[in-house]
Chains A and B, each alone.
Chain A
Amino acid sequence: MMKALQLTTIILLGLTVPLGAQSILLKTGQTIETKGVRRSGDMVMGKVQVGASSGEVGYQASTIAKINFPDPPQLKTTAAFLSQGQPEKALADIEPVVKYYEPFRDLPGNFWAPAALLKVSALSGMQLDKQAEALGDEIRKSVTDPETARAAQLQLIPGLVRHEEFEKAIALCDGVIKESAQADVLAEAWVRKGDALLAQRQWDAAVLAYLHVPVFYEDEKRWMPQALLGSARGFRGLEDLDRAKRSLNDLTAEYPKSAQAEIARAELQKMPK
């Protein structure tokens, strides 16, 4: 291992994503604390402090068990932009993160897949279906974690619904619902299924799909506003106006800053008194 070690003194030029200390865990169990890493071919270069100056140490990617990156704060901020209905801002926020992790995609510990998933959501929110679909495909092909692959599959649903490919959309959701054990993925799958059913005016089935989120996954806050708004629309379709109002009121009270709350307020005003 040490044979592969290179010591160079390169001044690192501005990273696009400011990151804190990162440690490289080698397959031998040894941990190397670094002040940042970058990819150079099949090597991972770790910035280390050497005396008074800093330098880079290179490690073969194949010898690395994991790189401990700190959680990128953009995962939260982008999700917040998405839940506020601001896909353009979300895209601008997450794009550098996706780019930064791109070279580390093959190494455990990287955040490319979750960041790329958010990018797909942003693209989909901007109705850039083809780009969203292409990135979704890329995620599915490159990730080893089945849950991430499932989450990537769900990104196809909005485009399918827009093109009225409802059966395909619902089959995809059902597949994820059957296989997944991850609450956030399941919550998203139910919301997407609700969307596909709502678009077909299958009000009762849509209501049942959306309500899976508040019933079983109420901690998945990102999906709650969409589920509440969707269920309200379903109830309205069923002409159960009281229940529709209740869902809209819950939405505005519990998620007042969400994009859906804004819509809910407008829909509440239009409801017969």
Chain B
Amino acid sequence: MNRLVRRASLFVAILFGVGAYAPARAEDAPPDLGTAYAGAMADFQAGNYAKAASALEALVARVEVTPQVEPIFYTIGSAYFNAGDYPKAIAAFKNYQGKFPKGPHAGGAAFAIAQSNLLSKNFKEAAAQMAALENDPSLREQALLFEAEAFKAAGNFDGAIKALEKLTGGEIRDSDAMRGATMLAELYAQKGDGTKALKILETIHQKIGLADNIIQLNALTVDLGDKFYNKQQFKEALACYRYAYPREQIIRLQRDRIAGMQRRIEQNLAQVRANPSEITQLAPANNQLKQDIANAQKLLADFEKLPSITPAIYLRLGRCFYELDRKWEAVVVNQEILDRFKEGPEREPALFGLIVALADVNQPERAQQRCEEYLRDFKNGPNAATVGYLLGACALQAGDPKAAETFFGRVLESQPKSSFREQIRYLLANAKFSAGNYADAVTAYNKYLSEFPKGANAEDVKYRIILSALFAGKYQDAMSQLQAFISKNPSSSFLPDAKYRLAVCKYAASLYDEVITDCQAWEKQFGSNPQLGEVLALLGDAYAASSRESAAIPVYIRSYQTATTDDVMNYSLEAASKLLQKRGEWDKVGELYTGFVKDKPDNPTVVSALYWIGKAKAHEGKIDEAKQLAADTIKKYIADPNRDAVEQLITQLAQLCVKKKKPTDAATAPIGEPSPSPAAEEEDPGAELDRLLSSAANEDSPTAKARVLFAKAELARLRRQPAEEEKNIAEIASQFKPEDLSPLLLGEVGDYLLSQGKFDQATGFYQHLMDDFPKSPMVDYAYRGLGEIAYQKKDFLKALHYFNDGTDKIAATTKLKDITLGRAKTLLALGKLDEAQKTFEQVASVREWRGEATAYSVYSLGQIAAKRGKWAEANAYYQRVYVGYQKFLPWVAKAYIGSAESFEKLGKTQEATNTYRELLRNEKLANFSETAEARKRLEALGQG
């Protein structure tokens, strides 16, 4: 409409000419034409369009229709258009078209008719009329834009899209094309055409400087994202939200735009200064620019008053990431909102989103902290009930049933009407159950039943009450409850488990025959139940416990074959193997494991099964077959560092190679073939190992090469050649990178380097072991090694961390003794005497660890007592060392000194002197530093 106002105003100058030939008028006569026109135009300029239109219509009735008055006819249409009287505007413009079909404003009149139809909601006509104007280069872009608007308003989205695609086909060159592109993106989104919508959005953002209203464009971008989100097109929604600008960027862009317009004004002024004749064109342009600047500044000022849009956009980003299963990213976004925006409505949903995402990515501790934060800051928030529930659930997820109990208990009190109450009651009882507090669990389950007798978990709860008795070791009680449950609930989903548990109770009561009958009946009734493997294992146990081993073995075999978990499978396989070994049936041990390899060729246990097959063959005297089998298996897996049982096979092969062949082997040479001479049959074990392990396929594999060196080291160990053994391990350490090695080799090399004091190199191998093989049984090496290095570097807190993790986190086995000892000595170094004492006592009490570790521990217990000033107690420990552990000379020497010092502290100088002398008399201790120390002390005591 502004365009029409402006165009009309330009005609004023022309029509002064009209006034020039208008006849003079009398007082009562109508005003002369010039005056009448000037008055009408004054009304037009003042915005009195209806009055202007009437006056101009009266005027044209008085004049002859000539090309000179053509603008008046056009202005009449413009006045009606501006007055909002579209029917009259259409009539006036049509009148113009009739009188001046080729007039200078013919295109404008056609466009105005189309626009009037659009504004009168005659969309069909408007669209058709706009389409007819597409070929006019001066009107093309506007015509296409309005055509699209008309189609869109008429609900013809395809028509609108077609027009807009024409408009934006090449590139976005001006603000009309930018408006069209924006509308097109919206239409694509509405149609669900994400790819096209995103493409056009990308084009828009490349030409963002052409956008009249960045704030509005940003809002539209977010809105598009919401449309996609609501249609569950999360990928497209995410892309939209990423196109949305954060607050700071919008402000910067808007300021840039204002500055750009300001520069254009200045350029125009400079142009006018250079060429004053351009003022007629440039002055209105500058006025328009000033108006645009004012609008832009107002928009910016309003926008700056609003709270930041950024957290709202981030919140949406977070939701999209979550829906796209990129939950860590959702955590990042929600955390960012909380960190950067301390106030605002987005905090609550962001915090809740963060909690849910953290729980999903298995970060229960972090989730718990955030739950606490939520319940503190949004006690009555819309998600408070859920968060209360999640707080306890996360503690359970973190394996902390005690904390879960506390949290659930608290929520039950603070949120008595929580919609999660039933679930919380149930989980609270489960938490007690998981913590092993069976009596409390039963009380909690009963509370559940009293509050929710028909609750969704009622049946489960009733069954868990019975299991509580069983797990508490009350077999008799459990047995009667299970029997009652079975008879009362013949169709319960817990029936198979109940019958199995009943059999377990009977096994505990040594009722083996009943167990056998029950298990056989169970199999008949629930033959396809996944618990079958466990039931068969129990049946095997019952046979074995009642000395029916021949019956037990096939049952164990069936058990491992049907087991659904590796635990049950390995248990039954091992149980069968042990029974066969006990009976000396090594051929059957071989068959058992051969069957296993056939049944489960991809199972990780295969390599150790092959070890047993080889061992069985060796027991049967088939040494060469055993060697070949071991070698073939090794070669198959030698290049894969993840197969950590390969080293077990290598050790087995080395053992076989080192074994001397029995003369009978030679005697059993096939008839017709010459018996090998004794010299020929005694192949050097090293050469034999080389021959057996040589493989062209593995020539280039560093892992294979390192393992061959390990085989040589093993051979040397078995042949008691420690220098050779060390040489081979040292070669692995120097020739190979950590990533080439298997877990055991990483540990062995780490230990070797540690023993050489090469801490940094050792750290690399240990760290790789810890990072790349966290589940390997060999990971113990890493915890022990890294702990020891930290201890040696006197970083006791770090050392304690590794040793604690070694015992608590990974439950070390291979290096448990060293890790426990490391922990004890670190605690002592940190002055934590009580804990250190407890740990040293633990080491000293383990029969299997008896040896140097015991001597060290007993000596350290003496040190702890000495630190407490309990000299008699300390002395007793020291004496225990040099009396009971004489083999471990370094500890003996230290213990003598400790004991003598204790005597001195107790004022028993003679006994102290005797002890120092006893140390000096021991020739084996002559080279120890303690000997010199004893001499010094004797001198100080006047006994030198």
Contact = CB atoms under 8 A, between A and B. Distances in A.
Given A204-B363, A204-B366, A211 B771 contact: no
A237 B771 contact: yes
Contacts of A51: none
Nearest to A219: B242
B332 A208 contact: yes
A236 interface: yes
Contacts of B774: 237, 239
Interface in A209-240: 211-212, 214-216, 218, 231, 233, 235-240
Nearest to B772: A270
Given A208-B335, A237-B771, A215 B321 contact: yes
Interface string B328-339: 110111011000
A201 B336 CA distance: 22
A272 B641 CA distance: 11
A233 B771 CA distance: 9
Contacts of B248: 181
A235 B327 CA distance: 12
Nearest to A239: B774
Contact of B328 (A208, A218, A237): A208
B771 A215 contact: no
A15 B775 CA distance: 60
Contact of A215 (B332, B361, B641, B770): B332
B642 interface: yes
A47 to B, nearest CB: 31
B329 A214 contact: yes
Contacts of A214: 329
Contact of B771 (A216, A236, A243): A236
Q: Which of B328, B366, B770 has the most CB of A within 10 A?
A: B328
Interface string B761-790: 000000000111011000000000000000
A113 interface: no
A207 B328 contact: yes
A246 to B, nearest CB: 9
Contacts of A233: 771
A178 to B, nearest CB: 10
B821 interface: no
B317 interface: yes
Interface in A29-52: none
Interface in A185-223: 201, 204, 207-208, 211-212, 214-216, 218
Contacts of A231: 328
Contacts of A236: 771
Nearest to A218: B242
B331 A208 contact: yes
A215 B317 contact: yes
A267 to B, nearest CB: 9
Contacts of B641: 270
A272 B642 contact: yes
Nearest to A246: B326
Given A236-B771, A237-B771, A211 B328 contact: yes
Nearest to A214: B329
A273 B775 CA distance: 15
Interface in A138-195: 181
A233 B774 CA distance: 13
Contacts of B775: 239
A243 B328 contact: yes
Contacts of B362: 238, 240
Interface string B633-658: 00000000110000000000000000
B363 A215 contact: no
A208 B332 CA distance: 6
Contacts of B361: 240
Nearest to B321: A215
Given A181-B248, A204-B363, A204-B366, A215 B642 contact: no
Contacts of B642: 270, 272
Given A270-B642, A270-B772, A211 B366 contact: no
Contacts of B321: 215
B333 A215 contact: yes
B267 to A, nearest CB: 15
13 contacts: A201-B770, A201-B771, A207-B328, A208-B331, A208-B335, A211-B328, A212-B336, A214-B329, A216-B336, A236-B771, A237-B774, A240-B362, A270-B641
Interface of A: 181, 201, 204, 207-208, 211-212, 214-216, 218, 231, 233, 235-240, 243, 270, 272
Interface of B: 242, 248, 317, 321, 328-329, 331-333, 335-336, 361-363, 366, 641-642, 739, 770-772, 774-775
- Going nearest first, the 5 A-B pairs with the smallest beta carbon separation are A211-B332, A215-B332, A215-B329, A211-B329, A211-B328
Given A216-B336, A240-B361, 15 more contacts: A181-B248, A201-B770, A201-B771, A204-B363, A208-B328, A208-B331, A208-B332, A215-B317, A215-B333, A218-B242, A239-B774, A240-B362, A270-B641, A270-B642, A270-B772
